[in-house]
Amino acid sequence: MKRLVTSRQWRFNMRSGSLRVNHRSHSGVSRRPHCSALLSTMAMRPAGRYHQDAASSGCRFSTPGLDSAAGMEVYITPDYRKRRAVNWASDAALTYLNCLIHNRVMKYANAGTSGGLLIVAQRLLNWTRSSVFLLCGLMATASHAQTFTTLANFNGANGYNPNALVLGSDGSFYGTTQGGGSSGNGTVFKITTSGAFTMLYNFAGSDGATPRAGLIQATDGNFYGTTSQGGVNGQGTVFKITAGGTLTTLHSFGGTDGSTPAATVVQASDGNFYGTTSGGGANGHGTVFRITAGGTFSRVLADFVYYSPNTAGAEPLAALLQAKDGSFWGTTYSGGGSGLGLVFQTSASGGYFNVPYYFGNGRGTAPTAALIQAADGNLYGTASQNGPGGQGTVFSFVSPFASAPQVLYAFAGPDGANPNGTLIQATDGNFYGTTSAGGANGRGTVFKLALGGTLTTLHHFAGADGAGPKTALIQGTDGNFYGTTSQAGNNGGGTVFRLALNSTASPAPSISEVDNAFSNIPNSPIQAGTWVAIKGTNLANTNPGRGWNANENFPTSMDGTSVTINNKPAFVYYISPTQVNVQAPSDTAVGPVNVVVTNNGASAGFTAQLQPFSPALLQWGGGQYSYAEITRNSDNALIGNPSVIPGTVAAKAGDILTLWVTGLGATNPAVPAGQQPIAVNGNFPLGINPTVTVGGRNVTVIGTILRYAGLYQVNIQLPVSIGTGNLSIQVLEGSYQSPANVLLTVQ
């Protein structure tokens, strides 16, 4: 991972009960830290002993009473995107907390509030004097008040074992059942939000039987789906059905082209439909196929082999996902190097097939659900079995997709078990889903999962209200959640239900200022791609605030809070009731623009000034005068005014220094807003170096590169004849210059 030159790694060793703070250069070479400087940035900190540790070239914190059977290290780097002062005493209220991290259960002291592990202490370069950060939220919380309503009970005659619902353009929900109906081969039905039920079609066998997946509504207004059996060859079909119930069989599988499709199709950007079969094909382990709306079965894009270096995997039970880059992503239930399933990527032409991950290794197995691409651009999914809690997981793939997914949550039984259904990301930014087993009654649950990993169980099924939900939820236009259970209910054949969350409306937000987040000047101009601090009241419901993983691409919504700048979605990094920090979206506009914050449906606007450039330096502190956060390349010393900032030293004539700057414009090649430069894997220099002045004199600019999203590294060399004292340092891009009240101390 690329790090800021001045990054401080806080290493907490669970065995010894110590906190070591190592300063590392960008090349990873340690240098001597300054305990006093680090500790001065923490307004409150745990009781214990802090001392210089010569052996580790670090700053060691020791405290008695830690008890751990297994070791763990946690690294935190300073985060320049967030401002928030946090009282340690209130945020570190718990002494011991159990948390699943890296598939091991740890006990540790100085833990944060329920919801995660707290290893303190980012010094948030100029943005606060103290801060803490919740690292892992693998904890379940109690459910909030909600209203559960059973809309329909299946009894066999009207169907049996319903699949997932789809919301039609008419506001009604459409679905299929795996059995029942007049021939016992399954049905297609429609149901309204009030529970009015209409039977649309009964499968007879020759036209298909046993649909194991729901429907999609295509751009032509018709619904498309699959049956796992029946058809001309008895091996399943692809069909089209109108909203009025007229069904057309588009394709009957014959084995070599696949058999037994267990998932619905997806309509891709090219207008064609893509899907999977769980069996058949050249190797008998399933296929990926393409079919047109007219029923032309174009080709098999992939034939799965239980284990192969190229198309490994078997039994793809889930629908495909077409990602924003146009490629298709999916999972297989089994096969692959581990035999426990895998994640695969393929193209619309079938000329590309990639397997980024084989399940196992404590992250869950046997995926049955489709992947989703969330607002942050990352992929999320569920594994139905195993994992750290033994009962399945929710995982994420970060872009670029790592060699292994991150476990966002691990089910353990009381909180649910066997998540078979696909996740959805609701309008509040959270994920919602179901487990087919576990919970208080062992019959499954409905849950909400925050992006940070905190799970809330919303409903425990008891049998009379249904059991065994195995499909995705869907959010209606009324904001409520609708879904099905595969079993039980009044007649034993499953149910359709509605879950309404009884949450109070968010108070209207109010914006008092919009700033360039580095400038420390209220209502300072902003620039496309730069970091923006929005201040006010009721900007988010998350209290205390929280930030996004600084090493991942950024979402456009977090916990129901989103921001637009000039009608374009901004990329959210930090939210709290009084401040939201975002990266401004890419834009070519200049002049006054409208900044709108939306907090769970309630919005407020503010006019900000958008400029072509808005340079500002990362600083040690605010006020009338502040000091730029700078390092000296020769020894990685922190440069500042040592009489004001303990642990810093003054610069000297001839020094080569590293500055951190925002608002310098596009790089070549450009990096879209919301993405980390490390995420697109390249070097991103600025086309033309900015001008830097110290004490009013131009200094040599050695080079400029975009190091993190919205943050540039600028290397300069001071003249040998530079003056001494607290000198003004400014960065100029064209006619735009950074604030003049930022100082560099030279002696």
pLDDT at 326 (0 to 100): 87
Whether 196 is covered by a domain: the verdict is: no
**Which of 628, 640, 661, 634 has the alpha carbon at shortest distance from 717?**
634
Residue indicated by tokens 């729901």: 214
Q: How confident is the model at residue 301 (pLDDT cuts 50, 70, 90)?
A: confident
CATH number at residue 602: 2.60.40.10
Residues 589 and 646 in one domain: no
Residue 72 has pLDDT above 50, yes or no: no
Residues 567 and 687 in one domain: no
Q: In the chain, what percentage of residues exceed pLDDT 70?
A: 76
Domain-terminating residue out of 556, 585, 611:
611
Whether 185 is covered by a domain: the verdict is: no
pLDDT at 133 (0 to 100): 23
**Which of 505, 420, 507, 499 has the alpha carbon at shortest distance from 456?**
499
Secondary structure of 54-123 as H, E, C letters = CCCCEEEEECCCCCCCCCCCCCCCCCCCCCCCCCHHHHCCECCEEEEECCEEEEECCECCCCCCECCCCC
The stretch 212-216 carries a mean pLDDT of 96
The stretch 330-342 carries a mean pLDDT of 87
Residues 597 and 635 in one domain: no
Residues 517 and 633 in one domain: no
The tokens of 337 are what? 């190097």
Q: How confident is the model at residue 338 (pLDDT cuts 50, 70, 90)?
A: confident
CATH number at residue 279: 2.120.10.30
CATH number at residue 702: 2.60.40
Most confident segment among 58-72, 162-176, 538-552, 609-623: 162-176
Residues 557 and 588 in one domain: yes
Whether 132 is covered by a domain: the verdict is: yes
The stretch 228-238 carries a mean pLDDT of 96
Residues 124 and 22 in one domain: yes
Residue 715 has pLDDT above 80, yes or no: yes
Q: How confident is the model at residue 238 (pLDDT cuts 50, 70, 90)?
A: very high
pLDDT at 309 (0 to 100): 56
Residues 588 and 623 in one domain: no
**Which of 710, 724, 666, 718 has the alpha carbon at shortest distance from 693?**
718
The stretch 487-493 carries a mean pLDDT of 92
Q: Report the 10 Å Cβ neighbour count for 119.
A: 23
Q: How confident is the model at residue 55 (pLDDT cuts 50, 70, 90)?
A: very low
Residues 597 and 627 in one domain: no
Q: How confident is the model at residue 519 (pLDDT cuts 50, 70, 90)?
A: confident
Residue 135 has pLDDT above 60, yes or no: no
More confident residue, 299 or 635: 635
Domain-terminating residue out of 585, 611, 637:
611
What is the distance between the alpha carbons of residues 610 and 590, in angstroms, rounded to a whole number?
A: 5
Whether 276 is covered by a domain: the verdict is: yes
Residue 23 has pLDDT above 50, yes or no: no
Residues 654 and 597 in one domain: no
What is the distance between the alpha carbons of residues 229 and 245, in angstroms, rounded to a whole number?
A: 20
pLDDT at 360 (0 to 100): 84
The stretch 68-97 carries a mean pLDDT of 27
Residues 563 and 668 in one domain: no
The stretch 561-585 carries a mean pLDDT of 91
Residues 12 and 135 in one domain: yes
**Domains in the chain: how many in total?**
4
CA distances for 680 relative to 29, 386, 413, 683, 693, angstroms: 25, 33, 39, 9, 32
Which residue range is the domain that position 120 belongs to? 8-139
Residue 417 has pLDDT above 50, yes or no: yes
Whether 220 is covered by a domain: the verdict is: no
Whether 731 is covered by a domain: the verdict is: yes
Q: In the chain, what percentage of residues exceed pLDDT 90?
A: 47
Mean residue pLDDT of the chain comes to 77
Whether 134 is covered by a domain: the verdict is: yes
The stretch 679-683 carries a mean pLDDT of 53
Domain-terminating residue out of 581, 611, 641:
611
* pLDDT tens track for 352-366: 788 888 888 788 999
Residues 629 and 577 in one domain: no
Whether 121 is covered by a domain: the verdict is: yes
In sign, the C-alpha dihedral spanning 601, 606, 607, 612 is negative
